[in-house]
Chains A and B, each alone.
Chain A
């Protein structure tokens, strides 16, 4: 087994983690498992792809990579725009679908509605972009030795850094700011939060926007590391849920830790059993956590 598993696992864990943070937040604050979250990832990646193509066509030189990276100003701009767009998609979906069901019916009908939305969004993406895989860049990147037998491409290192910064920011946002306190209050007890002057609806909108933006970041990362295709987010859904449950629903550091466990587990599975079995890792982790500690690593009793 080569130590390279660590790099692969960390990258994989980082992109699962960015998605899982959104899943765990919507789950704890809105009270349902959102099956359309995978499509936020896909939508984000395609949105960034389309915007990057436009920007690099309009501005000379923006499409070129920065230094050793294949990521250029065009893609950075596009990723930021796409994050806003994906946040908008999440808000629009909430407005169209979930607001109408909230409070009126059981949480499980929201799960079902999200399931229908997931299919509709994915099929529409496939309609526009077809199912042919797409790439942000065709540049070939050479992995450089890092010592200890590890190798990584400049892109991989940059993405790890960005993912780490994003997660620390989200953690600080939740633990140190007013909106973070409001989110935790709504998650604990919505009526009490409302009575204490928290704008519950605004908090819910903020959660959707944050979840969508992070899912987009995950999608761009996945697109840079592997490829962009309509099923990319849907295929990531089981790892997202497994990471969120493993970490304990509602816990951002927990979701990220869970994502790392699954990410490294998948990298190990690819080495030991072959790439085709990778998707089984999340399922095994899910079953194990449900058997042993259904509340998750950091969570309370479900």
Chain B
């Protein structure tokens, strides 16, 4: 293999890792919105909670900020999922019994406050400079970007696939059925004795935990985090991914993540290649406008997305239908 091929391979695996991690955030949002109808406008905040918690748990001791417990990366991942899930439980407990928009407004507030803390609580988060030297899985291989990216791609692919399979099983389980029943017809579901608040809270917490985990995995892959990674743009991107892919469909969530992330990356490369540096900021603004228009247009024109939701029935019902 010549050196010329290694560069693109390293880049392709880097791209795929990022697409898969975005896909994981998207899967979390799909549990919340796609399957349960809970509108989270603070996705970036939950991802940031995961990233920062994991960074604080795993970084070596440091004078710049608190934390630095040097825990293994896996502890960081779990801590991230638990922290983001815990915040989701708190937000959900507060707002899920109220009108649907209150959840949206409160999650928006969570993202604002997380951004504020990341930026200003220097003792905790390193402020605007963020946290560097976050331990990376397979750090020893970092000398060779190709190897490092490929091994990490394998790791991320295994984790995301496992979660995907688990979510697919969950969607077909009685639990998943209750979620969809609540989304479609709350009264009918209540009439058969299902508690809307409890199931919604569980779904919201699960989705939040997945977002936190994705944030942590990205932080450990890159090795550096800063508040500017978790602006509202991230929330917009994840929403665009889910809507484009087809909300309610786990495969759609992953597909949407790959498609939108590819569009985002390619347009970024084009901008830095074609547009003169003086106008780059403007071109970047136009790119954001395009995502906003795409999101709004998809909702109006094709709310099902590329794939859309399939009717899911339990296996034994399908079997019974076939045998009758």
Question: What residues make up the interface of A, taking CB atoms closer than 8 Å to B?
Answer: 27, 32-33, 35, 97, 100-101, 105-109, 111-113, 115-124, 126-127, 130-131, 234, 237-238, 241-242, 245, 276-277, 279-280, 282-283, 286-287, 290-291, 294, 302
Contact = CB atoms under 8 A, between A and B. Distances in A.
Given A33-B105, A109-B303, A282-B109, A115 B41 contact: yes
Nearest to A33: B101
Given A108-B101, A112-B299, A115-B41, A120 B116 contact: no
A162 B119 CA distance: 35
Given A101-B300, A112-B299, A130 B281 contact: yes
B98 A119 contact: no
B296 A120 contact: yes
Interface in B91-123: 94-95, 98-102, 104-106, 108-110, 112-113, 116, 119-120
B37 A108 contact: yes
Given A111-B101, A121-B292, A126-B288, 7 more contacts: A112-B39, A116-B293, A126-B282, A127-B286, A131-B285, A241-B105, A282-B109
22 contacts: A108-B39, A112-B39, A112-B243, A112-B299, A113-B295, A115-B41, A116-B236, A116-B239, A116-B292, A116-B296, A118-B292, A123-B287, A123-B289, A237-B108, A238-B109, A279-B112, A279-B116, A283-B113, A287-B106, A290-B95, A302-B99, A302-B102
Contacts of A241: 105, 108-109
B200 to A, nearest CB: 13
Contact of B296 (A97, A237, A279, A302): A97
What are the 9 closest A-B residue pairs judged by CB atoms, nearest first? A120-B292, A116-B295, A119-B292, A116-B296, A123-B289, A123-B288, A33-B101, A126-B285, A127-B285
Contacts, number: 138
A122 B243 CA distance: 21
B-side interface size class: 35 or more
A202 to B, nearest CB: 23
Interface centre among A112, A113, A124 (most CB of B within 10 A): A112
Q: Is the interface of B mostly helix, strand, loop or mixed?
A: helix
A119 to B, nearest CB: 3
A238 B285 contact: no
Contacts of A27: 101
A238 B105 CA distance: 8
Interface string B215-251: 0000000000000000011001001100100000000
Interface in B54-110: 94-95, 98-102, 104-106, 108-110
Nearest to B37: A108
B235 to A, nearest CB: 8
Contact of A111 (B104, B243, B281, B294): B104
A252 B121 CA distance: 36
Given A33-B104, A283-B112, A123 B292 contact: yes
A42 to B, nearest CB: 13
A241 B103 CA distance: 12
B291 interface: yes
B303 to A, nearest CB: 7
B108 A238 contact: yes
A122 B239 CA distance: 17
B120 A277 contact: yes
B232 A124 contact: no
Contact of B303 (A105, A118, A120): A105
Contacts of B288: 119-120, 122-123, 126
A123 B286 contact: yes
A257 to B, nearest CB: 18
Interface of B: 37, 39, 41, 94-95, 98-102, 104-106, 108-110, 112-113, 116, 119-120, 232-233, 236, 239-240, 243, 281-282, 285-296, 299-300, 303
A270 to B, nearest CB: 13
A35 B292 CA distance: 12
A124 B116 contact: no
B281 A276 contact: no
A70 to B, nearest CB: 29
Nearest to B113: A283
Given A120-B292, A127-B282, A131-B281, A245 B102 contact: yes
A286 B282 contact: no
Contacts of A107: 100-101
Given A32-B101, A116-B299, A245-B102, A290 B285 contact: no
Given A241-B108, A283-B113, A290 B232 contact: no
Contact of B285 (A113, A123, A287): A123
A124 B39 contact: no
A97 B296 CA distance: 8
Contacts of B282: 126-127, 130
A40 to B, nearest CB: 15
Nearest to B100: A108
B26 to A, nearest CB: 15
Nearest to A120: B292
Contact of A117 (B243, B281, B296, B303): B296
A106 B293 CA distance: 20
A68 B206 CA distance: 59
A294 B291 contact: no
B289 A286 contact: no
